[in-house]
Chain A
Amino acid sequence: MKNPYSWRYLTIAVLLGLVGVAVLVQIVRIQTDPEIQILIGRSDIAVRYYYPPRGEIYDRYGRLLAGNITVYEVGVSLEEITDPTTIALAAQMYLGQDFNAVMEMLATPPEDVTYLRLADYVSTDQAMQLMKMQEEMSKDPNGNPLAALGFRAHLGRQYPEDELASNLLGFVTQEEYGYFGVEAKYNNLLSGIPVTLLVPTDPRRAVELPEIPPGDSIILTIDRELQASIENILEQALLETGSESGTIIVMDPRTGEILALATTPTLNLNDYGSVEDIFTGETPFNRAISQAYEPGSVFKILTMASALDNGTVQPGTIFLDQGIFNYSGVNIYNWDGGAWGYQDMTGCLGNSLNVCLAWVATEMGNDSFYAYMQRFGIGHPTGIDLAGEVTGRLKLPGDTDWYPIDLATNSFGQGVSVTPIQMVMAASALANEGQMVYPHLLYATVQDGRQHTMSTQVVGNPVSADTARTITEMLAVALETEASRGLVPGYRVAGKTGTAQVPTPYGYDDEQTNASFIGWGPVDDPQFLVYVWLEKPQSSPWGSVVAAPVFRQVVEKLVVLMGIPPDAVRMQLAGH
């Protein structure tokens, strides 16, 4: 029997079936329709950029010189803006932004942009204040006017020692790029490798993010305490002598490790924006490597070492100083214009006689003299691992601006320009048994928890070990004979003063000098090499008066910090 109501059941079934099909169709459509994907503003895959934390910089004893600290990027989501005025006011109050500039930026954003960055590298304190304000405003019944503000925490560079070793370290800008010093030299090593990843935003499709290795950390050869001490000594020396600038380098002549390097001016690295105000004009960031100058009499140690090494003279060779030496039609005079009579080579060095050294160089001849100078690295960059090293200039026979008289004047450090670090490297050969070492600041790198320590590099043997010992002894005797202000009680040191007139386009300036002192010790086992350069001192023009005492102060400080006992104690302990 036919059910008279079956059509009703059929109708209901069909309707319910249609509803079900419609639901299915809608589910599929919502998940696949591109317009809806745009409407909800996301895709399944997001591009994310991961910048690894920048590697840290430590001193030789593991004390942090450059680290990282949390800073914030503050931005605004344009789609959520309800009250641009309040946002601009908050940006002005807490971020130091210009109110009108922010208003204009919010009113006319670039096309296809949904997020605008208001400020980056905002300190945690500032960001927290702004977050607190945002939270308080969330209680506003009319809606939070700061709801559109967003915060992204990331790491930024911080220098806990502020100005200490600033000329060595350099700085990192907000673009995460290192400028000057080791920050620039080892930028690639420190910054690591940024990674770009396609990350699914759908949590059901969570993928494991790869471990992004941080940048390598580096350990420098410098000793923070010694660095701080010599920076203080240099600052005091500049005050006392009225010098325009100064540089002090302390190096271990056995390894080439720079233990401290101070120069002026300095910079608070946490306020690197003032760099253009401090380093005006042609002021180099680091004079020790970026300013070449005529070294004057400290250069005589290289001339004498060369002459001893090739047998032109012996320590006991006697020279009759008549106060004038004519070479190639030009007269050479001593620093005091006087005649010093009979002098042995130690006397020539101790009394810093230009006439004697000019004679020595001419006895050597062009070929031998300039060959030795090149072997000492004069005229070539040392390759020190700091950004911005300059070469200096050693004119050679055959150069268009070289004249025969240059041989004589070069012998006592005129007509040749060097950087302080070049002089230090050259002198390392004399302090280290004839082996010239590569000056460097990198002690080790730390990558993935493993430390890779650098090894000493010998870059040449310009003179023999015998010659190095001989000249060291001659310089020690010379200092003792003249009762130099560079002598250090309890420690026998070798050294040489330098007083160089400053060249100008119109000849040498008689009023301004470069005063310097280079020395090393202890003489029987050199463990430190110190170079002091004071530019244009006002209290006295002489290196023996202004630079030698600074050398002594530096040595007195470093023997304490390096734990080097006085010679007598050391001998006693050695024999113990």
Chain B
Amino acid sequence: MENITQIVQKVRQAPWRVQRQWIGLLLLGLVLVAMVAGVYLNVTTRASISGRQIQILSAEIDRNKQVNADMETELAGLTASESMQARAEELGFHPASTDEITYVAVAGYVDNSPANLSTQAASPQPSLLKPEYSETLFDWFTRQMTASGAQP
């Protein structure tokens, strides 16, 4: 029994063992820091990529709007009054005069009415950014609580 106590005492008091414990703790701390840093780096990178994608998409939206405007104006140029008249004449048509027209009554015929350029009633644009990219921790917590509270 005395021998066993002496052995335990010597093991406990061995300086290299104490050092190993400290090194172990230090390494554990480093691993934790590395994990936090890794998570932080991951989140930051994903946020940056998403942000950049948003910028690219915004630029693409602008470009598409410009292309749409270009195409509309180009189409208007191709169907301009002078162009259409020239094309009609090439095809052998000429402007009708009063004595070349025969009027007939057509039931239900609706005369050429002025333009209506209304599109569907504009609905509010959904947000492009998910809340995760803009809300605070408190906001997120509140949202989670609200969401869980709303569940039946």
Contacts and interface: CB of A to CB of B under 8 A. Distances in A.
Nearest to B117: A446
B9 interface: no
A203 B52 contact: yes
Given A62-B117, A64-B72, A569 B52 contact: no
Interface string A1-20: 11100000000000000000
Interface in A222-238: 224-225, 227-229
B133 interface: yes
Interface in B62-106: 63, 65-67, 69-70, 72-77, 79-82, 85, 95-99, 101, 103, 105
A53 B69 contact: yes
B39 to A, nearest CB: 15
A153 B129 CA distance: 26
B65 A53 contact: yes
Given A58-B117, A489-B98, A563 B55 contact: no
A79 interface: no
A307 B76 CA distance: 50
Interface string A425-446: 0000000000000000001101
A206 B46 CA distance: 12
Contacts of A64: 72-73, 75-76
B51 A450 contact: no
Interface residues of A, number: 61
B120 interface: yes
Nearest to A560: B96
Interface stretch (A158-166, A324-332, A499-507): A158-166
Interface in A526-576: 556-557, 559-560, 563, 565-566, 569, 573, 576
A58 B128 contact: no
Main secondary structure of the interface of A (DSSP, over half): mixed
B151 interface: no
B66 A153 contact: yes
Contact of B48 (A154, A204, A228): A204
Contacts of A1: 15
Contacts of A160: 73, 76-77, 80
A449 B122 contact: yes
Contacts of A229: 95
30 contacts: A3-B15, A58-B115, A60-B114, A60-B115, A64-B72, A64-B75, A67-B73, A68-B69, A68-B73, A70-B70, A124-B70, A153-B66, A164-B80, A203-B47, A204-B48, A204-B51, A206-B47, A208-B129, A211-B125, A219-B115, A219-B117, A227-B81, A449-B118, A449-B122, A450-B122, A451-B117, A451-B118, A557-B95, A560-B101, A576-B105
Interface of B: 15, 44, 47-52, 54-55, 58, 63, 65-67, 69-70, 72-77, 79-82, 85, 95-99, 101, 103, 105, 111-112, 114-122, 125, 127-129, 133-134
